[in-house]
Every structure is written in C-alpha cells, then in structure tokens.
Amino acid sequence: MPKIQTVHKAALLNDHLREEIDDWLRRYPEDQRQSAVLGALRAVQHEHGYLSTEMMDAVAEYIGMPEIAVYEVASFYSMFELKPVGRHTIAVCTNISCMLRGSDKIVEHIENKLGIKTGESTPDGKFYIKREEECLAACCGAPMMQVDHVYYEHLTPERVDEILDGLE
Amino acid sequence: MSQDLVNIEINGIPLQARKGAMLIEVADEAGIKIPRFCYHKKLSVAANCRMCLVEVEKAPKPLPACATPVMDGMKAFTQSPKALAAQKGTMEFLLINHPLDCPICDQGGECELQDVAMGYGEDVSRYSEAKRVVKDKDIGPLIATEMTRCIHCTRCVRFGEEIAGIRELGATGRGEFMQIGTYIEKSVSSEMSGNVIDLCPVGALTAKPSRYTARPWELVQHATVAPHDSIGSNLFLHTREGRVMRAVPRDNESVNETWISDRDRFSYTGLYADDRLTTPMVKDNGKWVATDWETALARTVEGLKGTAASEIGALLSPHATLEELYLAQKLLRGLGVSAIDHRLRQVDFAHGNADPAFPYLGLPIADLENVNAALLVASNVRKEQPIAAHRLRKAGLKGASLMAINTRDYGFAFPVMAQCITDPHGMVGVLAGVAGAALEAAGAKAPASLAKIIDAAEIDEAARAMAEQLKAGEQAVVLLGSQAFAHPRFSLLRALAAVVAEHTGATLGYLPEAANSAGAWLAGAVPHRGPAGERLGSPGLDAQAMLDKPRQAYVLLGVEPDLDCADGVRAREAIEGANFVVSLNAFASEATRNLADVLLPIATFAETSGTFVNAEGRWQSFQGVTRPLGEARPAWKVLRVLGNMAGLNGFEHVSSENVRDELKGLFGADLAFDTGVPLEGAAFETATVPTGLQRAGGVAIYALDSLVRRARPLQETADGRQAGAYISEAQARALDLLNTDRVLVRQNGRTATLDLVIDDGVAMGCVWIPAGMPETAALGAAFGPVELQKL
C-alpha cells in the first residue's frame, strides 16, 4: 500500500454525529466555528464512550481547527475521557460538604463492591469510578454522586447498592 | 503634543508613549528593565507568567506590565517595594517545580529563568514537597525537550499559531497537570520550528544537534549571513576553539526580523562532513594524490591553458560569494572563456535580452507584508524562502489576497484566496488566461509576441478573479518562484507574468532559489552579461548548452554536477568525457572525485569573508568566523592566485573588500532595480500539448546546496526524507497503483525506484518528484514526461 499523505480524518464521523455537530455550529457565528468544539466532543463521547485521538482528529478536521487545539480542550475538562472506560461512569463528590456527610465511606463502599479503585473500570467493562468530579453543586443533598449524568443524593451504602444493581 | 502620544512616568522618569502601547514596550524602549518570561515583542500578549508585575499609582494591586496599556498621567514603579514583593512572589512560585539541574542544562548561562532568579529569587526554597516531573517528548531531530523545566510561558505555542502558521505544540491538561507538548507522539514539521529554541526562556526546548557540546560562556559570537535561500537571513555563528558549534538568528527588522528558518539554523552541521576536502589533490594515473597548493594550482593553470578557451565550460554555484563569482568570471574571461553560467537548474534560456539585471524581488522584503494581493507562480515559498512566506502570511492575515498557480497544493501556512493546481504545461495556459483577463479588463491588446498564446488561452472565472484581485490591490505583486526558473518554458512564464503585472498595475518580482542568485547576475556569472550587467556582444554557452555540447575542460566552483544541475545525469556524462576538470569545492563527494582531475579545497561560508546579494538587492558582507579547515583557503584567494599564475592583470586584491569594491565601482549611478520584461523580438510559440504523465516538483528544501545536503539532522526530518513519487488518489486509481508502495519511475530512458505517496494536493496528470536528492537524481530534469510502473 502506498503511503497516504492526505487522509480525510473527518470521514470517521457518521451522519448522526455530523448532524449533531452541525447543530452546534449553527449556534455560533460562521467565523467562530471552534466554539462548537465542546458540543462536538460531547456528542462523540456520548456515542463512543471516550475520545480517541482519531475521533478528536476527525472533529478537528470537521470544524477546521488545529488538532492540538482539540486535544487541549479535551484534556482540560475532566468530563471528557481520553481512554476507554466502563459503560457506567460513577462520580462521587468528595468535596467539603459531601466529605463532612461521609462521602469517603461511600467511595470506599463502591470500591469494595466493584473491586476496583477510583480511576479504574471493572474488568467486565460495566462500571468506571471517576477519580474526581467536584463540586457538583448538590451540597444540600450531600453525600451525592453522579451516575451517567444523573444525580443521586442523600446516599447510604444501601441506597448505592440499589442504584448500581439497578443498572444494566 | 500629538494626539497619539501620552505622557507617563516610569520610576519617576517622564516618558512619552504611543497611546495603547503596553507598559513593558515603553519601558523596554527607555531601557528600563522589567523581568518577564511570557512576553515577547513579536508574539501576542499572554500575561500568564506574572513575572512583569509592577506597581501602578492608583491601582490597588500590582499590574502585569505586558498587558497594561499606558494611560495619560500614569505613574508606574518597577522597583518599588510593592513591585519587588510581587516579582519575588512570582519567582518563588515559578521555581517551585523547576528542577535544579542547571549544571547539566544546555540553557545554563544563557537562561532567562536563571538570570531573573539571580535577581529576584531567594537563596533557599521554602518548598519541600514533591516537584512535578514531566515525561520528555520526542518532537524530532532538531529540538530536544526537557519538559520538567517548562514554566508554561506558552511562547512556543503562540509561535506556532502566530508566526509559523501551524499549531503543533499546545498546552494539554490543566492546573498542576498542564503540559506543553504535542499530546500525541509526533515530530514538529514547521520549517521555522527551531525558533522555539530561542523563544524558550528556560531549557525545556533546546537545540538537539548541539546538545551537550558546549556551554554558552565558552562560545564566541560572530555575525554573518545565511548561505541558503535568497533572503539572506542574518545570523550569529557561535564558535568554540575555532569550530562552529551552532547558529542563531541576528535581528534585522528589514530582512528576517528575529527569525530564521531551520535550514539556516542547522545547516552548519554539514560543515564538518566526512567528505570535507582539507587538502589540494590531483589525480595521477587515475589515483588521487594529496599535494600542495602550488602543484595543484600549477596543474590547474596548465589544464586550462592547454585547452582552447572556447572548449572550456564553467559552472559556478549561485551559493558562492559575490567576490568568488566576480573573480571567477574575471579569470575565465581573461583566459578567453565565454561559457560561464550559474543558472545550473535552468533549462529555458530563450529571450536572454529580456533578462533583468538580476532577479529582483520587485520590492523590499519587508514590504511583502504590506501587499494587498500577490500571485505566486511555480513557488513553494513556504519551504523555499520561509521568511518571505512569513512576510506574505502577515499580509494575508491583514486581508491580502494571496493566490498561487502551482503543480501541487503545498499547504501554505497563510490563507490562500485562490489557487490553480495544474500540470507544468497547464500552468502556462492558466497564466496566459490570467494575462488574457488582465488585458480584457484593461481594454488592451496582447503584445504581438504573445498574441498567439494569450488568444488561445481560456479565460475562465478563476483567471478573471485573479486578475481582478491584482488590479484591486493597491500594492500587488506577481512573484515567479524558484520552480519557475527550472520550468521548461521559463521565458514564456516570465513574459506572461510581465503582461499580468503590467496590465493589473502589479509589480513583477522573482523569488530566486539561492543565497547569491542575485549576486551571480551582478558579478557577471552568466554567459551573456559581464559584471554590473554589461551586455556582451557575443554571449557564450549557457549552463545547459555547455553540457549539451560537451566541452574539453570544465571549471566547477562549489558545484556538485550530479545534484546541482538540472539534469544531473547528463551533466555527469558531459563532464566525465572532458580532458580536464577542476573542482573548487569545500567537499569532495564520490561523484566529484570520479569527475575531477584537480580538487581545490575552498572555505565554506563560515570560513571566508564575502558578500551575498539577496533577492531585494541588498548587499550583505560578512567576515569569516573561523579559519578554513585544514589546507582549505577562501575561494577568492584561490582565484586571485590563479589569475596571477595565469599571467593575467588585475588580480592584486588583498582583501575580499577590494574585490567587492572593484565590482561596485563598475556600476553606474543607476543600477536598475527593474523587473520589466521587454517583449520585442521573436514571438513565443505554442507548445505541443504533452501526452501522458508529467513530472513536476522543485528542489527538496534540504537538498538545495552541498552544505545543507550534508546536514544530517535536517536530512532526518520529514522534509529531508521526502524522496518519493507523489500522485493524487484519483491518479493512483487511474493507474491502478493503489496497492503498491514502491514504483519504478521511468523518465527519458532512465529509471529510479521510489516510494509511492498519495497526496491529493498534486495536480492530475502530474507526478511530483523532488529534485536534488540522491534518490531522484538518476532521473534527470525536474520536468518532463514520466511513466510509473508497479513494483
């Protein structure tokens, strides 16, 4: 096979992702296409579970910004995953209010229950415990956690079991 | 007082400053030192290092001088207790994560952080926690990284975005985990990348080729001029014990500002190549014998005098100095030789009467950034003259319409408004179309000599748009690039470009390929012009003709015919058949050894004094920075002695300045900086449309001359390894080549095996093959019909 110099990296984006990114692009002035990068990356992560370099390059080409600029955005925000992770993302808030209300115990309980540490995914690829995602601004319901973008408040170990066991 | 000026006071010194200027600029101009890391006069303001905090009256907190615009009546204090406390505080934070490895750091001794820490740092750190450690990146053969030392000033990031035009470095992660790098494993590809080494205020980015070879305080700095492109960037060479250790830019706002290309920065690594010639040599019975200068020079004079002058051909390098070229032609013409030429890569020498006095850029280099429109014809300006590309990029960012007619979309780092990518033959048609459109808009008739060609050309929308942009631009320029000179119909391209320029009100200009292309013309290193542009009654053979009709003897000055000539194979064959060949060169490659009978070792640009004339006609003289290696001698001295030994008059020069001034004295008061192309005389004929695949391509940037070809770090970059046959995907499909990685290229009965590279930027009908590289030299000329065969 010959060496390919011109690669159309954006080809990796399917129609649905293109539609989604186009929708974001429409919201910003035409000469400010890079504004859509957050929305675009969110859409990609939603579909692929994480942001591979190839997909970030695809977004860069599609939006028309330098690849490194996309890496910068993706690596800045903790909500973006740059490596493959479990299907369900568990993020327990451990900031001050939650900590005072026993979030450490909740984390410990989840770690024991799933047999992994924070920052790891279960071998079956079902769960991923996020290392840090705070403060999630739900102090009145402390301790709390976010599972796949859904807030669960006033946690107890039993309540955690119930939530996690209920997931597919 | 002008409305645009305000009165301010810094440290009690009353100053006038331009409205909107930043405090740090005003202080710098007044010689008031404010410490800084992220601020750089040529880059945007980031204000992220906080080192330049100063006290400003009425401001509640210290303000960063780099991001504080001056206001009328402003009083700033750079050394007040409040300012100093802020600066010291910043310094302490910056040093928290910085390693204490100054003793093994290349930057040590010329480090901004070290200097500022001496002034503002404490002796003992209060910080006892763990320091941040960052894994090093491999970003290519030119730049060494030690990212633990990085203080996140982002100068290198801003350089990529704002100057180089390709953003390759970035700041990924955040907070404590922020890192400067490429994120993925990747070599930086910018042809100006080395400038980040100078920009980096610490030892995070240093020069890889000179790493661990010298400490800054051991180096002696010498001013000189870069010997490669026709810009003539100003350089400092740093030597230690007479050996050149590295090259850095020397500020010159009118030429290279504060930047240099990687070629100018790292080509010094070729100075001490293994095949450097250090002693005169003569071939005795087919065997090389080292000898003394006297014997070698006597043999040279004997060889030249023993050949009829009309049977001698001289190929002179456009990278030789003005003095060398002048003395060479003086010597040769004194002996009656008329076949003298430096246009080694040119093949079309028709309409020599229309040649300008020298290939002038048409305007000062600095003015390139003020053009409103520019049309590049057959030019990869980004790689061939990086500084010119940088100036054009500035114009482009200000809204200039930059356009190009090329055989390949080179991926310019500036916004390209319109571009025609077509095969070499098609380029003529496209340019004729633009000329037709220009004439149409001006309501003028095509000059008789070009009428046939312009009338036959199709004037499409693109051609009209290009002509329109050139016409609309208050300052517009049509630039013939280095590849135009090598084009088989150069004279026609030039005539058409002149028509376009004339009828759009644009300036015609040239971007010649070599450091002294302009100087070579002025020195008389062409067969039809003497020194100072004197028109000669009976022109000699040009560079092509003296190889087509092989001579009995050849003089080679700084030329490696197999790689420097348009058709290296034919050049070799012609020179091989000669009875006597003398090569004045700093190097003696295997090929040169096979061709020559006498090898005269001459000094490189670093070892001789001399002058280069750049494309804007600027004479830049320089001194040798170190003694020539071994027995090598500056070529002007060698040529002077040859003149004496040949019994010629007028070779009494005692310095290169003597030689230069003698030449200068030959110029009348009005050296025409004129690029007009007189079109009287013979008409231009339409060429037959070639069938089949056409070869296109320019000289690979790191194959330009014998010095850069020996610069190993540059050869290891992607640009240095670009040998290959480049075609578009559609072309590959049409030729059924999509499943092979090597192809046999056939050109003019010769073959070479090359990597096949798919690049959709290459025009259909074209195979783009870089010239001047050992891998492609066997094929011959840079243009012509080729065939590809699957391997």
Tell me the residues of chain A between 102 and 161 that have a Cβ less than 8 Å away from chain B: none
Closest partner CB to B168 (pick from A1, A68, A75): A68
Helix (H) or strand (E) holding A38: helix A37-48
Q: Per DSSP, what are the bridge partners of residue B240? A: B243
Name the band, by pLDDT with cuts 50, 70 and 90, for residue B3: low
Tell me the residues of chain A between 28 and 57 that have a Cβ less than 8 Å away from chain B: 53
Distance CA B130, CA B726 (A): 51
Mean pLDDT along residues B512-541: 95
Mean pLDDT along residues B83-103: 94
The whole-number pLDDT of residue B427 equals: 95
The whole-number pLDDT of residue B671 equals: 64
Closest partner CB to B739 (pick from A1, A71, A72): A1
Residue of A nearest to B176 (CA): A76
Q: Per DSSP, what are the bridge partners of residue B288? A: B283
Distance CA B98, CA B90 (A): 13
The whole-number pLDDT of residue B78 equals: 96
Structure tokens at B500: 């376009």
B134, B152, B172, best to mutate vs chain A, most A CBs in 10 Å: B172
Q: In this structure, are strands B610-613 and B619-622 parallel, antiparallel, or unpaired?
A: antiparallel
Say whether B755 and A53 touch across the interface (CB within 8 A): no
Closest partner CB to B741 (pick from A1, A6, A53): A1
**pLDDT above 60 (res B2):** no
Radius of gyration of chain A (CA): 19
Say whether B740 and A1 touch across the interface (CB within 8 A): yes
Residue of B nearest to A66 (CA): B167
**pLDDT above 80 (res B578):** yes
Instruction: Kindly provide the residue ranges of all beta strands, DSSP E only, lying in A99-144, ordered along the sequence.
Output: 127-129
Residue B500 to chain A, least CA–CA distance (Å): 33
Say whether B167 and A4 touch across the interface (CB within 8 A): no
Mean pLDDT across chain B: 95
Q: What is the 3-state secondary structure (H, E, C) of B670-735?
A: CCCCCCCCCCCCCCCCCCCCCCCCEEECCECHHHCCHHHHCCHHHHCCCCCCCCCEEECHHHHHHC
Residue A124 to chain B, least CA–CA distance (Å): 28
Mean pLDDT along residues A119-129: 95
- B chain contacts of residue A66, beta-carbon cutoff 8 Å: 161, 166-168, 170
More confident residue, B648 or B683: B648
- A chain contacts of residue B726, beta-carbon cutoff 8 Å: 5
Residue A51 to chain B, least CA–CA distance (Å): 13
Name the band, by pLDDT with cuts 50, 70 and 90, for residue B462: very high
The whole-number pLDDT of residue B670 equals: 61
Closest partner CB to B740 (pick from A2, A53, A66): A2
Distance CA B274, CA B587 (A): 9
Closest partner CB to A75 (pick from B172, B738, B756): B172
- B chain contacts of residue A68, beta-carbon cutoff 8 Å: 167-170, 172, 182-183
Residue of A nearest to B728 (CA): A6
pTM comes to 0.94
DSSP letter, residue B635: H
- B chain contacts of residue A6, beta-carbon cutoff 8 Å: 729, 758-761
- A chain contacts of residue B757, beta-carbon cutoff 8 Å: 2-5
Mean pLDDT along residues B592-612: 97
Say whether A69 and B170 touch across the interface (CB within 8 A): yes
Say whether B166 and A66 touch across the interface (CB within 8 A): yes
- A chain contacts of residue B737, beta-carbon cutoff 8 Å: 2
Residue B197 to chain A, least CA–CA distance (Å): 20
Distance CA B60, CA B724 (A): 63
Give CA B28 to chain center in angstroms: 31
Distance CA B624, CA B790 (A): 51
Say whether B759 and A6 touch across the interface (CB within 8 A): yes
The whole-number pLDDT of residue B185 equals: 86
Nearby residues of B602 by Cβ (< 8 Å), 6 or more positions away? B277, B558, B584, B585, B586, B608, B628, B632, B633, B634, B635, B638
| A to B CB pairs, distance under 8 Å | 65
Residue of A nearest to B172 (CA): A72
Residue B174 to chain A, least CA–CA distance (Å): 5
Nearby residues of B639 by Cβ (< 8 Å), 6 or more positions away? B324, B327, B328, B331, B584, B651
What are the pLDDT digits (tens) for B150-164?
A: 999 999 999 999 999
Closest partner CB to A71 (pick from B170, B737, B760): B170
A75, A82, A132, A134, best to mutate vs chain B, most B CBs in 10 Å: A75
- A chain contacts of residue B170, beta-carbon cutoff 8 Å: 66, 68-69, 71-72
Say whether A5 and B738 touch across the interface (CB within 8 A): no
**Length in residues, chain A:** 168
What are the pLDDT digits (tens) for B259-318?
A: 999 999 999 999 999 999 999 999 999 999 999 999 999 999 999 999 999 999 999 999
With CA atoms as reference, report the closest residue to B663 among B513, B465, B525, B469. B525
Say whether A68 and B170 touch across the interface (CB within 8 A): yes
Structure tokens at B17: 């400053």
Nearby residues of B104 by Cβ (< 8 Å), 6 or more positions away? none
Name the band, by pLDDT with cuts 50, 70 and 90, for residue A143: very high
- B chain contacts of residue A61, beta-carbon cutoff 8 Å: none
Structure tokens at B192: 């100006």
**pLDDT above 60 (res B370):** yes
Say whether B732 and A1 touch across the interface (CB within 8 A): no
Mean pLDDT along residues B576-602: 97
Q: In this structure, are strands B53-56 and B63-64 parallel, antiparallel, or unpaired?
A: antiparallel
Closest partner CB to A4 (pick from B168, B739, B758): B758
**pLDDT above 90 (res B680):** no
For B159, the 3-state DSSP assignment is: helix
For B744, the 3-state DSSP assignment is: strand
With CA atoms as reference, report the closest residue to A155 among A95, A88, A110. A110
- B chain contacts of residue A5, beta-carbon cutoff 8 Å: 726, 757-761
Nearby residues of B435 by Cβ (< 8 Å), 6 or more positions away? B446, B450, B454, B457, B496, B499, B500, B503
Say whether B761 and A6 touch across the interface (CB within 8 A): yes
Give residue ranges of B with CB < 8 Å to any A CB: 161, 166-174, 182-184, 724, 726, 729, 732, 737-741, 755-761
Say whether B759 and A66 touch across the interface (CB within 8 A): no
The whole-number pLDDT of residue B1 equals: 47
φ/ψ of B125, rounded to 5, equals: -85, 140
Say whether B737 and A2 touch across the interface (CB within 8 A): yes
The whole-number pLDDT of residue B435 equals: 97
- B chain contacts of residue A76, beta-carbon cutoff 8 Å: 172-174
The whole-number pLDDT of residue B186 equals: 86
With CA atoms as reference, report the closest residue to B320 among B340, B336, B335. B340
Say whether A2 and B738 touch across the interface (CB within 8 A): yes
| Ranges of H-type helices in B420-539 | 424-442, 448-456, 461-472, 482-486, 490-504, 517-523
With CA atoms as reference, report the closest residue to B634 among B609, B612, B598. B609
The whole-number pLDDT of residue B688 equals: 79
DSSP letter, residue B397: H
Distance CA B111, CA B705 (A): 34
Residue A72 to chain B, least CA–CA distance (Å): 4
- Rounded to two decimals, the ipTM of the complex is 0.89
Say whether A2 and B172 touch across the interface (CB within 8 A): no
Structure tokens at B154: 């982002």
Residue A36 to chain B, least CA–CA distance (Å): 19
Contact B577, B594 (CB under 8 A): no
Contact B594, B576 (CB under 8 A): yes
Mean pLDDT along residues B579-591: 97
